[in-house]
Amino acid sequence: MGYALVEHPRLGRFNPARARELGIPEGPLWGELHKGKTITLPDGRTLGPADLVGTPRRGRALVYTGDTRPNLAVIEASRGADLLVHEATFGGDEQDRAQETGHSTAAEAARVAAEAGVRRLVLTHISSRYNRDTSELLAEAKAVFPETVIARDGMTLDVPYSDAD
C-alpha cells in the first residue's frame, strides 16, 4: 500500500512588465488574464493570456510507500516526484531477510528513487536494530542516491516547487 499526493498544475507566470508595456492597467484585468480569460481594453484592443502568461507549471508530488519490496508500480508512481518516502527496514547485510519479510534495504530504496528520478528520498520504517546508529544505512543509500535523509520522530520537511518551474 502506498500513496501519491499530487497537486494540480499551477497557473503559468504572469508577466507584469509586459502588461505595463501593453498599457493594461494594474488590477482586475491582470487577474482575468492570469486566470486564462481574454480581455478587451477601453481602446478596443483584445488581449489573451498567451500574450502575458507562461505555460502552466506542474504542482508538487509526494509519494509514500508502506512495507514494500522494490517494484515497478512504486517506480512508476514516483516518477519525477519531489519527495519519495520509502521504507528501508534493513541494510544490505540483511538482504535475504528483507526479501523474506517483504521489506526493502536502504540501497534498494535508493535505487527506486534513482530510477524514478525523484528529487529527494526519505527513508522510513527502519528496523529497531539501527535505532542507535543509522549512519550505515544512510551511507548505503547515499552511495546510490545522494539526496537521501533518514526520517526521525517529529521531523518536518519543506517540499519546495521545482526550481525549473
The whole-model pTM stands at: 0.80
* Cell matching residue 21: 508595456
Q: Where are the domains of the chain?
A: 16-51, 61-150
The three-state secondary structure class of 142 is helix
Superfamily of the domain at 61-150? Ribonuclease Z/Hydroxyacylglutathione hydrolase-like (3.60.15.10)
Q: What does 32-88 look like in DSSP terms, one character per residue?
A: HHHTT--EE-TTS-EE-GGGTB---B---EEEEE-S----HHHHHHHTT-SEEEEE-
Q: What is the mean pLDDT of residues 136-152?
A: 96
Q: What is the pLDDT of residues 64-104, one digit of tens each?
A: 999 999 999 999 999 999 999 999 999 999 999 999 999 99
Q: What is the pLDDT of residues 11-22, one digit of tens each?
A: 899 999 999 999
The three-state secondary structure class of 127 is coil
